[in-house]
Amino acid sequence: MEEIFCDVLIAGGGNAALSAAITAAEKGHSVIVADRAPYHMRGGNTRHTRNLRAMHTNPTNILSDSYTEDEYYEDLIRVTEGNTNDKLARLTIQKSAELTDWLFDRGIKFQGALGGTLSLGRTNAFFLGGGRAMLNALYRTAIKLKVKCLCDTEVLKLNIIDNKFKSAVLKENDIETKINAKAFIIASGGFQGNENWMKEAWGDISKNFLIRGTPYNTGGLIREMLDNNAIQIGEANQCHAVAIDARAPKYDGGITSRLDAVPFGIVVNKDGDRFYDEGEDFWPKRYAIWGRLIASQPEQIGYCIVDSKSINSFMPSVFPAIQADDINSLAKIVNLDPKNLNRTINNFNDSIVEGEFNHTILDNCYTKNINVPKTHWARKIDVAPFYLWPLRPGITFTYLGLKVNENAEVGMKNLTIGNGNIFAAGETMAGNVLGKGYLAGIGMTIGTVFGRLAGEGASNYVSS
């Protein structure tokens, strides 16, 4: 087997890996980045992203107003219900303030601050051209710094002795190469692409989950690290899961399979029953809970229904809605019991307290005297034609991963953290910050912050 030597070996090829690679290469170290995906799919879930969440105290040309550390922290505590490592959460937030400048200096372009009522322009910096453009800029910078970027190359087997990384076997096509490196960074994503592991975590129902991103994040290296004494963080069934169009492909449908119709109508399950308040809050604040909600329904399927009053009020769906002139016909197309669906819609229509409909605020259109309330944007479903979209849980990424410290160093059982040469970034360690729940844009923030920390940590180790 051919043997190669370098300072830092990085498994992965997305934002976390590239942020780490650039950081280590800028400090003068030789770096190899290996992504198991083919060239056109390199960069995993990062390809699908649009923004990152960053604190700032004054308006910039990318972010409006201010988004303070405390506000960001409160948002994080709310969504995680306190399931976060406080020190790492604070560190992520504080370091997020540097990210737009750091990325801009390395070729990433941003859009101007977004307008609109959801304040995203205040909290989230949007990549011009999306995640793919962002990723391509990171690769260009890494290559200029002489980082060796490999595609179609899986980091297969780790040789870890006495809790220290020694070497890894890389596989490109059928050719195996041994890489000896002074430090190792694992940035190879979660395990959502691993059907067996998902089944272990969720049981049989996982067969009905769709994976929104890359099929290549299968968690092999997380498993290998855990088998090699690394300390686990996060639970196997914690993840970011949204409701997506059930007709999306099993893998990699990306953001196009998202559906924004829910607050404008109702969602029923296979039995034709409603099961959750569709108008609880603005959709961007709620869409991440609907994946789990649908996962807990019979056969893990839901059906969103709106009438023609609402059809032009949200972003059109990529898959056209199923359409019918009456509820009976609509039910029959998707094998729902027409009697049940009519009953649910009639009960819902009868419960409505009419107000002034306004989808840009938490309006005063709500339901009364009904088991499952709808607290905003409740309007009768009574104007034909009627529209329906089937929904499935869409898994974005899993949270089980590796425990790290504030230098992104992986905690190993029986080793005082601070002496090791193994680091983790991105989805492989996001569970340290996200014990549960999600805050839009924080995935890329965690990846860039800990990618940089991992690159620095590995550099320091190599230099020491």
Ligand X SMILES: Cc1cc2nc3c(=O)[nH]c(=O)nc-3n(C[C@H](O)[C@H](O)[C@H](O)COP(=O)(O)OP(=O)(O)OC[C@H]3O[C@@H](n4cnc5c(N)ncnc54)[C@H](O)[C@@H]3O)c2cc1C
Q: Which stretch binds ligand X (CB under 6 A): 30-38, 177-185, 298-306, 398-406?
A: 30-38
**CA pair distance 428, 422, nearest whole angstrom:** 12
Q: Which stretch binds ligand X (CB under 6 A): 28-36, 115-123, 267-275, 295-303?
A: 28-36
Specify whether the CB–CB gap between 202 and 295 falls below 8 A.
yes
Q: Which is nearer to ligand X, 135 or 388 (CB)?
A: 135
31 in contact with ligand X (CB under 6 A): no
Site string for ligand X, 200-219 (x = CB under 6 A): ------------xxx-xx--
Q: How far apart are CA 49 and CA 441, in angstroms?
A: 8
Of residues 390-419, which lie at the interface with ligand X (CB under 6 A)? 396-397
| Smallest separation, CB 372 to ligand X (Å) | 29
Should residue 17 be labelled a site residue for ligand X when binding is judged by CB under 6 A? yes
Interacting residue with ligand X among 6, 21, 22, 34 (CB under 6 A): 34
Under a CB-based contact definition with an 8 Å cutoff, are residues 93 and 72 in contact? Answer: yes
Give, as ranges, the residues between 136 and 155 that touch ligand X (CB under 6 A).
154-155
**Smallest separation, CB 217 to ligand X (Å):** 5
Q: Name which position in 6, 8, 9, 16 contacts ligand X (CB under 6 A).
A: 16
* CA atoms of 107 and 136, how far apart (whole Å): 9
Q: What's the longest Cα–Cα distance across the chain?
A: 74
Question: For ligand X, which stretch binds (CB under 6 A), given 94-102, 302-310, 311-319, 443-451?
Answer: 443-451
Does residue 220 interact with ligand X by CB under 6 A? Answer: yes
**Beta carbon of residue 17, minimum distance to ligand X (angstroms, whole number):** 5
Residue 189 as a binder of ligand X (CB under 6 A): the answer is yes
Contact mark string toward ligand X, 38..77, x via CB under 6 A: ----xxxxx-xxxxx-------------------------
Other CB atoms closer than 10 Å to residue 172's CB: what's the count?
14
Alpha helices (H) in 338-441, listed in sequence order = 338-350
What is the spatial distance between Cα 220 and Cα 151, in angstroms, rounded to a whole number? 17
Task: Tell me which DSSP letter residue 257 carries.
Answer: G
C-beta contacts of 36-42 below 8 A and 24+ residues apart: 36/152, 36/153, 36/154, 36/155, 36/188, 36/216, 37/13, 37/151, 37/152, 37/214, 37/216, 38/151, 38/152, 39/151, 39/152, 41/214, 41/216, 41/252, 42/13, 42/135, 42/139, 42/151
Q: Which residues bind ligand X (CB under 6 A)?
A: 11-17, 34-37, 42-46, 48-52, 154-155, 187-189, 212-214, 216-217, 220-221, 254-255, 396-397, 426-427, 441-444, 447
